[in-house]
Structure 1
Amino acid sequence: MADISLLSSVPLRIAATQNKIPSIKPASFAQIPSWVSLKSGSSSLKIPQNQQGQVENLHLVSLSKQGKLKEARDFLEQMEDAGVPVNPHSYTSLIQSCSKMRSLSDGILIHKHLRRTMNNPSGFLENCLLQMYCDCDSLRDAEKLFVEMSERNLVSWITLISAYSEQGNLKKSFGLFSKMVESGIRPNSTIFTSLLKSLSDPSVLEIGRQVHSLVIRTGLTTNVSIITVVSNMYVKCGWLEGAKLVFDQMVEKNAVAWTGLIMGYTQADQRKDALKLFVTMVNEGFELDEYVFSVVLKACAGLEDLNLGRQIHGYIVKLGLESDVFVGTPVVDLYVKCACFNSACRAFERISEPNDVSWSAIITGCCQAGQFEKSLELFKSLRMKDAVLNSFVYTSIFQACSALADFNVGAQVHADAIKRGLVSYLYGESAMITMYSKCGRLDYAKRAFESIDEPDTVAWTAIVCGHAYHGNASEALKLFRRMKDCVVRPNEVTFVGVLTACSHAGLVTEAKLYLESMSPEYGVEPTIDHYNCMIDIYSRAGLLQEAYKLIKGMAFEPDLMSWKCLLGGCWIHRNLELGKIAAENVLQLDPTDTSGYVLMFNLYALFGKWEEAAHVRSMMGARKLKKELSCSWITVKGKVHRFVVADKYHPQTEEIYEKLKEFNHSIMKDESELLTEEDVSFDLPERKQQLMDHSERLAIAFGLISLPANAPIIVFKNLRACKDCHDFAKHVSMVTGRKITIRDSCRFHHFHSGQCSCNDYW
């Protein structure tokens, strides 16, 4: 009955306009007609003067809060035409909506309307306008309004100074600050915070000190938030001593201050100090958040401190934060950098919602652990999910394709990265150069290099090493001279590429000059890697005594590679005495290195010393060592086909061996042919048959029956190619007219018309 009595009290003139009671709907200002009360003359209802325009202003506020600024502007004009006043609250709502939506054009029009209709707007309203112009990045309009303001209070000064500070315009922000102080307005913590946060470079440290002194004179040293900002300002300006001094004098420390100082030490590579500070923070019972864990885990990763990292990880698990992406991702990165790939995988699996940085970390970990195929699987799953990717992911995938020599996938990934705009400038481009070089497509590598506007050291090094790896010594050295002309400084890796180029071409004198010029001319100190290159150059050229003298006389302790280079030269040039010395050192440094045993056996066998050869073989048997299995692979129609010695498992085995028989009669070698690393049986009567079954021959034969006649045959091998198979490839290229490329563990061999790019010097 209460509802009936309520309805009966409605004025009769309203009830008379309707025959039925309308259904009650929720109130919505958006449904109010635009002209609801603008034609007041048509109604006999008299509205009190102090309530005039209430409904219109409510409608205006509703439109602004819904973001319907165009409709709000139109209605504003209609209200002005009808003489309905706009109250300050409506203007405030409109201006704040323009500020929130960053709509400068609407803000300017509303400001003009306010000027026409309101003589003396309040300071609050003018500050709203000032904030709107700052939020819309129109500081010129903001400063113009600021100058015209009838009354500038502390809020006005803070608004404009903060806006200039956020844009990094220190001259403007500190100029305004000086004027404010001169005008007698006392600065508060807010304005100091804004100014201090804008100081983030060592060049403005002195300004920061002056602001700090003013904070002290203003009596704000007991304000924890402002002193925390002072400490962080010193961190960003690179003055850690000052930051620590301020931190130590804080009456009450908070987690932000602790974290800021820990981050400062970490960024300055003072990681041990950062971790000590973290331990103190834990011992003093401060609450730890995601951010501080991300910082200390980065410090642990930089130090490769696995023990402490595991302890911190345990604490994270105890707090239940391991599923948080901002904590879980640094945990993954820590384990990746500490070479604990399995732990990295487990940590990654516990992240509830991994982001692009998480995926990048685990894919990088796969590559570092040699799990290149798994990294490609992860990448493909990401693409299927249409997940967010970043340039670091693509750079890692380029490296994986490089290691796998997978040109097809690499080219597809390259195209996808271009489409998404995620080819990292210089780093990603340099990785592409290396990828195409190692996939046998030096033409693509050149194009990738030439597309870089200003190649850096890494890019130049990548293309120099690419040509060196392909045996193009003259082009590699030409590029090195170009690099020098472009005033790009070479690094250690660049010189490894230069010396490798010399090694593959037998340029002994040139290599010696480059090695001697590294320190005085380029400021790059030679390392054991550069001396090993020189040892290899001497050994390949048959200058075995010079190589031995360099090993004995260099400033570095010879490593495994030093002696292996000499041993390889002794095998090529049949020097048993030096070979024995080199082999002894190889096996002393690494008793599991099978190549040392194989080369020494072959040397003894070559000189007819079968008793010594049998002893070497028995040593391998006693240590249960087996030579790494030779494997060659070729890609046909996007599928990789792998072959091992005497492989009979391929579906087209019969066709492959039939093709091989076509060439066998013309390439038979007499039994005096030199043995090679691939001769693992040590049984001479079986040698001829083994040569026919070598893995690269099977791959070449498969390429001949599977690829179009005009397509190049590109074969990859995990070990050094033997001389017999090298001659076989030359013969096939001459008979068939096909271009054949073999990449072995040392370099690329390009065969055409019976000739090899190495000129039989490898």
Structure 2
Amino acid sequence: MNFHIPRRFEPKISALGRRFVSSLPVRENPSIFCDQNVNNVTKPNPFHILKDPNKPRKVKLKDTKIVHANLLRTHDLYLDMFRTNYLLDCYFECGSTKYAFNLFDEIPDPNSVSWNLMLSGCNKNMLFEDSWRSFCEMHRFGLEMGEYTYGSVFSACGALGCVLRGEQIYGLSIKKGFLSNGYVRVGMMGLFSESGRFDNALRVFYDVPCDNVACWNAIISGAVKNMEYWVALDIFSNMCHRLIMPNEFTISSVVTACAALKDFDFGRGVQSWMIKCGIKEDLFLGTAILSFYAKSGCMDDAVRQFWFMPVRNVVSWTTMISGFAQNGDFVSAVEFFRQMRNVDVDINQYTITSVLIACANPDAVKEAIQIHCWIFKTGFYSDSVVKASLINFYAKIGAIDASEIVFQDSEGMKHLSTCGTMISAFAQHKSSKQAVNLFHRMLQEDVKPDKFCTTSVLGIIDSLNMGRQIHTYTIKTGLVFDVSAGSSLFTMYSKCGSLEESYNVFNLLERKDTISWALMITGFVQNGSATKAIYCFREMLSEEIVPNGMTLTAILTACSALCLLRTGREVHGFSLRNYMGDQASVGSALVSMYSKCGILCSARRVFDMIPRKDQFMGSAMVSGYAQGGHPEEAIHLFCDMLVDGLVIDAFTLSGVIGCLADLGRLGIGSQIHAQVIKMGFESEVSVGSSLLVMYSKIGSIEDCRKAFQQIKAPDIISWTALIASYARHGKGTEALQIYELMKESGTNPDSVTFVAVLSACSHCGLIEEGFFHFSSMKKDYGIEPGYRHYSCMVDLLGRAGRLKDAESFITSMPITPDALIWGTLLASCKVHGDVDLAKLAAEKAMELETHEAGTYVSMANICADMGQWDNVLKLRSEMAGTEVIKEPGWSSL
């Protein structure tokens, strides 16, 4: 049958031909519907088959074909466009797009309703390209297009990700007079929101003042989808001020925003306002409120809301179980799962996943095994999602062998999701070799790893060679342009120290989201490239990407490293304007930044303003006081943290113990040591090393040794601190013995360790041992001696009275001696009364440090001991002439 007007519409299934298939059996056997007395009988209405209230709402293809055949027999098909369009809609409703396309092609003169049904039907069956082509045909033939036409094509453009097409259609709709039409504006806002261009959606919303609740719902929903939660709440407040009555869809979006922000007070107020206004709470809205309470950690309110709901389905039950899982209450989660089975509610794979997440606790292993048996019994074990959840569950409780058994039961590489979960499980247990082997096995068995598998394996490998091979795979498969896979790739390069390759991969990403920018900036900071991190941050702002808390934390760390107070203050102001100033991570970074820049008053002000402090923020403030020379304030803050019940970590304890070491208060130090033992941190290397140094400075070498023995795995710092402590107390032989024990343990010395070893030899006059270890530095460990090492050797010779040898040693040094070395020789000359050599050493030291009072005082004391008072007066006058100021001595006794 020909069209009334020429068309070139080609649907996807055009290969099947234009002939209407369903009419063939009727034409071949017409006796089925023929009646000799047909003219004497009233024509029946065939649509009663589709409209029968006793039948399910779902339209069946068989019934639709019967109606179609009846209409063909009675020649009523194209005489009544209402019936024709209804039949067309039924075909789309039952998913038979082939028959729908054929029926549409046979309509002589389709009206606007027919075209709109084609658009909406194609959208409903995911044929978005066909929907777009239908719209183009309508536009080409100059057919009348209404609000529903534009709404349908906006949906198609959104599904196809074609924002440019949507903008063109929006311009066309405005030209046709639809600027203020709510349906059209909702479609355009939805398109922009789905495409991540929420700013454009806001512009559409504010183009025309509107009292249509659908428009307000669309922009609030778009804000939530784009994680602009504060914007959603602001728009909702404005909506209420304009006396526009929200409906259940509005409340659902607003409650979701409150849940994401964990703003319990606002969400509770919204629910109260909803009840006051008489908004009916349906199943969908009730479940959204359940999710809000669960995500806010208010499970008692969630339980109350759950039992007040008149109808509860699998989604509401699963929401409750998931809420208990998020709040670490596996007992309640298992109990709700038991009750759910008792009331005979259909359980789906997501319910099982939620209860398994709740049981990922060593105390819930017994319950989890019972649930595993129930999964076997009910047949859910064949579901790939459930098996992936089991693999993940066993990995989280440390039973990686059980995870492998479940993975083997999943028929190897049959399901990509289980492969990805198994690789993630290996990554959780730092089993990089097994993760890489499984990745290789997938490639060998022609199972292409997806972005989840690729990101998991990239997150655990630390080998540049292996990383480059996976990089090649991502290029081959196109995953290198995916934002999550690309971010994992350049993060791997950053972790391996290859910043250039990391930045190259980062630049290849076409769409960089907030997370990718944050990871790149963090990579620069962690690799000591703070300047590049700040440059990258400025580039991010130029792209109009709004930073998140992770980005601000990284850039504040860069400002701390460079002591950029002005930039740090600008970032602080930005965080306040964007409601991120009260985040614990950002607050910790701000405290650290202000502390390292020497502005402790600002650091304390930020610390006091944060409502919810964590251990990192407390550690940053204590460290700031300790490093800023305010040990008393650091100790008082530590005590306040204990009183307030804040979590104390090893870093905080190390800072406080360091303050006690400087103050020399043994009583408080013993109390802190007892607190350390109570918390179980005595085996931590940082805390143990701090205790060791504290007892060393106080003078208790025995407690110093005990503190070292409590350390579970001593590192180079703790070994060096112990050697230095014994050297400081004149126990050179014991210090060297500890040095040998350190080497036997497999710990190689560094340059600081050799300073402690040479100092031990110096204090005990072990000249031969000192020269042996001095030569061993470069010979055995490749460490070039520095000024402190040469100073120790000069001190070693000077203490033994070999001043001429010390002078010869200085003149033969491969590096130019500094004031420290000459000052060391000067001190030895004072002990042994060598005035001539002392004058030489003093002259050299004063040439290098003209404003150092210690050199003048030492030389003056030597002259005074020799009775050379004229020289003493001369030195004193020289000090006054060069404006050298000697600080007066003081005593705490």
**Normalising to structure 1: TM-score of the pair?**
0.63
**Residues 319 and 607 (structure 1 numbering): CA distance in 2 closer, same or farther, change over 3 Å?**
same
CA spacing shift, 1:112–1:378, aligned 2, 3 Å = closer
Number of aligned residue pairs = 576
- 1:393 partner letter: T
**C-alpha separation between the residues in 2 aligned to 1:380 and 1:55?**
50
Separation in 1 of the partners of 2:557 and 2:472? Answer: 33
Which secondary structure state, in structure 2, belongs to the residue aligned with residue 410 of structure 1?
A: helix
In structure 2, distance between residues paired with 1:287 and 1:229: 21
CA contact (8 A) 1:331 1:347 kept: yes
- Conservation of the 8 A alpha-carbon contact between 2:853 and 2:886: yes
Matching residue of 2:754: 495
Q: What is the 5 A alignment of 1:590-605?
A: 590-605=849-864
Q: Does 1:262 align with 2:521?
A: yes
| Contact 1:208-1:233 within 8 A present in 2 as well | no
After TM superposition, give the deviation of residue 548 of structure 1 in Å: 3.0
**1:95/1:107 contact within 8 Å kept:** no
Distance in 1 (CA, whole Å) between partners of 2:758 and 2:589 is 39
Structure 1 position 355 matched with structure 2 position 617? no
Matched residue, 1:368: 627
**Alignment match, 2:259:** none
Tell me the C-alpha RMSD between the 2 structures. 4.6
2:592 equivalent to 1:333: yes
Alignment of 1:193-204 (within 5 A): 202=464, 204=466
What's the CA shift string for 1:648-703, capped at 9, x where partnerless? xxxxxxxxxxxxxxxxxxxxxxxxxxxxxxxxxxxxxxxxxxxxxxxxxxxxxxxx
Q: Deviations over 1:440-493 (max 9, x none)?
A: 111111222334455433222222211211112222233333334444322222
Choose which of 378, 386, 389 in structure 2 pairs with 1:131: 389
Letter in 1 for 2:506: F
The worse-fitting range, judged by mean Cα deviation, of 182-191 and 319-328 is 182-191
Distance 1:214 1:483 in 2: 49
Q: Quick one: which of 875, 885, 888 aligns to 1:616? A: 875
- The residue that corresponds to 1:407 in the other structure is 666
**Aligned counterparts of 1:182 and 1:563: Cα–Cα separation in 2:** 68
C-alpha distance 614-330 of structure 1, shift in aligned 2 (>3 A): same
DSSP-derived class of the 1:88 partner: coil
Q: Which residue number in structure 2 is paired with residue 208 of structure 1?
A: 470
Amino acid at match of 1:262: I
Closer/same/farther in 2, CA of residues 328 and 613 from structure 1, 3 Å limit? same
What do the CA deviations read for 1:228-269 (whole angstroms, capped 9, x no partner)? Answer: 445445545655454433332333222222222222333333
How do 1:622-701 residues align onto structure 2 when only pairs under 5 Å count? 627-632=886-891, 642-643=892-893
Q: CA deviation at 1:123?
A: 7.8
1:215-364 superposed matches below 5 A: 215-216=477-478, 223-236=482-495, 240-303=499-562, 309=568, 312=571, 316=575, 321-337=580-596, 344-345=603-604, 348=607, 351-364=610-623
CA 1:319–1:590: 2 relative to 1, 3 Å:
farther
For the 8 Å contact 1:95–1:110, the answer to whether it is kept is: no
CA contact (8 A) 2:584 2:617 kept: yes
Following superposition of structure 1 onto structure 2, how do residues 488-567 of structure 1 map, counting pairs within 5 Å?
488-567=747-826
Q: Identify the residue that residue 732 of structure 2 maps to in structure 1.
A: 473
Query: C-alpha separation between the residues in 2 aligned to 1:60 and 1:426?
Result: 47
Q: What amino acid sits opposite 1:88 in the alignment?
A: D
Other-structure match for 1:440: 699
Q: 1:345 to 1:132 in 2, by over 3 A?
A: same
Q: Output the CA distance in 1 between the equivalents of 2:571 and 2:320.
A: 52
Q: Following the alignment from structure 1 to structure 2, what is the Cα–Cα distance between the partners of residues 277 and 57?
A: 47
For 1:365 and 1:63, the matched residues in 2 are separated by 43
Partner in structure 2 of residue 692 of structure 1: none
- Considering Cα pairs closer than 8 Å and 6+ residues apart, tell me whether 1 or 2 has the greater RCO: 1
CA displacement at 1:59 relative to structure 2 = 12
Does the C-alpha gap of structure 1 residues 29 and 367 become closer, same or farther in structure 2, counting only changes over 3 Å? Answer: closer
> Residue by residue, what CA displacement relative to the aligned partner does 1:688-730 show, whole Å, maximum 9, x if unpaired?
xxxxxxxxxxxxxxxxxxxxxxxxxxxxxxxxxxxxxxxxxxx
Counterpart residue type for residue 212 of structure 1: T
Helix, strand or coil for the counterpart of 1:288?
A: coil
Question: Following TM superposition, by how much is the alpha carbon of 1:529 offset from its aligned partner in structure 2, in angstroms?
Answer: 1.0
> Does 2:739 match 1:463?
no
- Structure 1 residue 534, shift from structure 2 partner: 2.2
- Between the aligned partners of 1:122 and 1:617, the Cα distance in structure 2 is 91
Report the Cα distance in structure 1 between the residues aligned to 2:865 and 2:572, rounded to whole angstroms. Answer: 58
Unaligned stretches of 5+ residues in structure 2: 1-303, 325-330
Rounded to whole Å, the distance in 1 between the matches of 2:567 and 2:652 is 28
Distance 1:266 1:59 in 2: 44
- Structure 1 unaligned spans of 5+: 1-25, 33-53, 80-84, 633-641, 644-762
Q: 1:544 to 1:60 in 2, by over 3 A?
A: closer
Q: Which residue of 1 aligns with 2:119?
A: none
1:393 Cα deviation from its structure 2 partner: 1.3
What one-letter code is carried by the residue in structure 1 that aligns with 2:553? S
Q: Distance in 2 between matches of 1:384 and 1:58?
A: 43
- Per-residue CA shift, 1:93-115, capped at 9, x if unaligned? 57744544545654654565576
Contact 2:582 2:610 in 1 (8 A): yes
Letter aligned with residue 208 of structure 1: I
Structure 1 residue 574 corresponds to structure 2 residue 836: no
Q: Please report the TM-score for the alignment, with normalisation by the length of structure 2.
A: 0.55
8 A Cα contact 1:519 1:526, kept in partner: yes
What is the CA distance between 1:392 and its match in structure 2? 0.9
Q: Tell me: CA distance 1:251–1:415, structure 2 relative to 1, closer, same or farther (3 Å).
A: same
Alpha carbons of structure 1 residues 587 and 318: separation in structure 2 relative to 1, 3 Å: farther
Rounded to whole Å, the distance in 2 between the matches of 1:173 and 1:284 is 37
In 1, Cα distance between the equivalents of 2:421 and 2:507?
A: 32
1:390 Cα deviation after fit: 0.7
State the distance in 2 between where 1:621 and 1:178 align.
77
Which residue is 1:389 aligned to?
A: 648
Give the secondary-structure state (helix, strand or coil) at the position aligned to 1:519. helix
Q: Deviations over 1:593-648 (max 9, x none)?
A: 4433333333333444333322333445567766444444xxxxxxxxx32xxxxx
Which residue is 1:378 aligned to?
Answer: 637
Residues 1:96 and 1:262: Cα distance change in structure 2 (over 3 Å): closer
Name the counterpart of 1:37.
Answer: none
Deviation, 1:424, is 5.9
CA separation of 1:617 and 1:452: change in aligned 2, threshold 3 A: same
Q: Is the 8 A contact 2:359 2:368 kept in 1?
A: no
Kindly tell me: are residues 255 and 464 of structure 1, through their superposed partners in 2, closer, same or farther at Cα, counting changes over 3 Å? Answer: same
CA pair 322-146 structure 1, distance change in 2 beyond 3 A: same
Structure 1 residue 202, shift from structure 2 partner: 3.9
Q: CA deviation at 1:419?
A: 0.9
Residue 687 of structure 2 is aligned with which of 425, 428, 439? Answer: 428
Q: Which residue of 1 aligns with 2:346?
A: 88
Change (3 A) 1:586 1:319: farther
Q: Please list, as runs of the form range in 1=range in 2, the aligned pairs for 1:180-199 lying within 5 A after superposition.
A: none
In structure 1, the partner of 2:709 is: 450
Contact 2:794 2:825 in 1 (8 A): yes
Contact 1:104-1:136 within 8 A present in 2 as well = no
The answer as to whether partners of 1:468 and 1:476 remain within 8 angstroms in 2 is yes
Q: In proportion to residue count, which structure has more helix?
A: 2
Structure-2 change in CA distance of 1:330 and 1:541 (3 Å): same
